[in-house]
Amino acid sequence: MDNFFKDRTILVTGGAGSFGKVIVRRLLQHAPRVVRIYSRDESKHFEMRHELGDRPDVRFLVGDIRDRERLLRAMEDVEIVYHAAGLKHVVSCEYNPFEAVKTNVIGTQNVIDAAMEVRARKVIFTSTDKAVDPCNTMGASKLLAEKLVTAANQYRGSRPTIFATVRFGNVLGSRGSVVPHFMRQLRAQRKITVTDPDMTRYVMSEAHAVDLVLKATELARGGEIFILKMPAVRIGDLAQVMVEDYAAANGLPVDGIQTEIIGAQPGEKPFEGLMTSRERFRALELPDMFVVKPPTTDLIDADYDYPGARPAAVIRYTSNDEDLLTTDEIRGMLRDAGLTAAGVTSEPQYDNVLA
């Protein structure tokens, strides 16, 4: 992997966001020539600049993926693009649907066009499980973005750019995700709000998510969707663990902490999927992930041959069909991710809340 990224010029859209920052930090470990952090939020740039320090291999570029001309200038000489910018909050997108379209759909097409123009080597789009059989605007916009990314491989002509998608579930600890959200509620009010305790969701740590993204960059032939194998949790069990651990860490009785059921929010599903029953016919399986080949492989000049791959053995890949993590396993997962009751100190923004 060091050789793959060494001396590369890389751009990360949404690079100052919580997940984008993790990608940037990991990339910097592999000696790229420069990582360009493209984001419209100058305050996040300011904070990240102080976190990383003054270094010659990082550039901060203020810009919006809705602005095609700005993207073109930002991508000059770029070889690898990670497209992590987007609107990700289900409820926000439900109430502002065309804003989701302008960012998640038109913005993605702008990234595609700019990458082709500069003849970038690879573009990796980060998608979500909500794009699978979507019932909300955010998921539908991400699904259309996935299709744009796949289709770009069909009309790139002589350009060398390879486009692929990475699809994963909820990233624990990311800005607005459920664990910091619960912690803030517990610390402020000694209560938590749960939409529906029987909802199930796929979860993964930031480290595992980035592992998938970087591995997909090396494997991508064109048009694939890479899906990490990840565990699923019941929201009520996750809330129980958070309450128990917070109570234990603060010497409080568990029954002194209230759990309020507030009902499903607009656009929410009782469970999520990572692969449809139709996609499974095109899916290959690796030890740690699935690779869904594009439906139009005859139009893409690529060899989808991955070492150790075999036809996928799953029928569906949905969180309600999984063996859910036990409360002890959830506790261990949070501990491994550095998200224990005593360790979570972030003040989250509410733009990507799980459940």
pLDDT recorded at residue 301: 79
Kindly report the pTM of this predicted structure.
0.90
Across the chain, where does the E strand assignment appear?
Answer: 9-13, 34-39, 58-62, 80-83, 122-128, 162-168, 170-172, 191-194, 200-205, 225-228, 232-234, 258-261, 273-275, 283-285, 289-292, 310-311, 317-318
Sign of CA dihedral 72, 76, 82, 84: negative
Is residue 352's pLDDT more than 50? no
Confidence bin at 175 (pLDDT 50/70/90): low
Q: What are the DSSP E strand ranges found in 85-198?
A: 122-128, 162-168, 170-172, 191-194
| DSSP state at residue 322 | S
Is 6 one of the catalytic residues? no
Please tell me the total number of residues recorded for the chain in this structure: 355
Question: How far is residue 258's CA from residue 262's CA, in Å, rounded to a whole number?
Answer: 12
Report d(CA 161, CA 341) in Å as an integer: 44
260 in helix, strand or coil?
Answer: strand
What band does 336 get if pLDDT is binned at 50, 70 and 90? Answer: confident
| Secondary structure tally for the chain: helices H, strands E | 12, 17
Average pLDDT, the chain: 89
Asked if 222 and 153 count as a contact pair (C-beta separation under 8 A), the reply is yes
Given a cut of 50, whether residue 351 has pLDDT beyond it is no
pLDDT digits (tens, 9 = 90+) for 49-64: 999 999 999 999 999 9
Rg of the chain (C-alpha set)? 20
Of 72 and 242, the one with more pLDDT: 72
Residue 238: closest CA among 194, 184, 269, 176 = 194
Residue with tokens 């150790």: 308
pLDDT of residue 353: 34
Q: Which residues pair with 38 in a beta bridge?
A: 13, 61
Residue 320 or 234, more confident:
234
Domains, in order of start, for the chain? 2-169+203-229+273-315 (3.40.50.720)
Residue 1: predicted pLDDT: 63
Task: Output the 3-class SS for 125-152.
Answer: EEEEHHHCCCCCHHHHHHHHHHHHHHHH
Q: pLDDT tens-digit profile of 75-106?
A: 999 999 999 999 998 999 999 999 999 999 99
Confidence band of 341 (pLDDT split at 50, 70, 90)? low
Identify the band that residue 165 occupies on the pLDDT scale cut at 50, 70 and 90: very high
Nearest to 269 by CA among 86, 129, 104: 129
Among the ranges given (37-41, 126-130, 295-299), the one the predictor scored with the smallest mean pLDDT:
295-299
**81-85, 270-274, 319-323: lowest mean pLDDT where?**
319-323
The one catalytic residue among 21, 88, 130, 269 = 130
In degrees and rounded to multiples of 5, residue 126 shows phi and psi of -95, 115
- Return phi, psi of residue 275, to 5°: -155, 135
Would you state the torsion angle of the CA atoms of residues 319, 165, 21, 5, taken in this order, to the nearest 10 degrees? 130
**Average pLDDT of 211-216?**
92
Name the residue with tokens 């069990």: 237
Residue 3 pLDDT: 86
d(CA 117, CA 230): 36
Name residue 53's amino acid.
G
* Residue type present at position 258: Q
User: Do residues 134 and 149 make contact, with C-beta atoms less than 8 angstroms apart?
Assistant: no
pLDDT tens digits, 217-263: 999 999 999 998 889 999 999 999 989 988 888 888 888 888 899 99
- Average pLDDT for 271-293: 92
For residue 325, what is the DSSP state? P
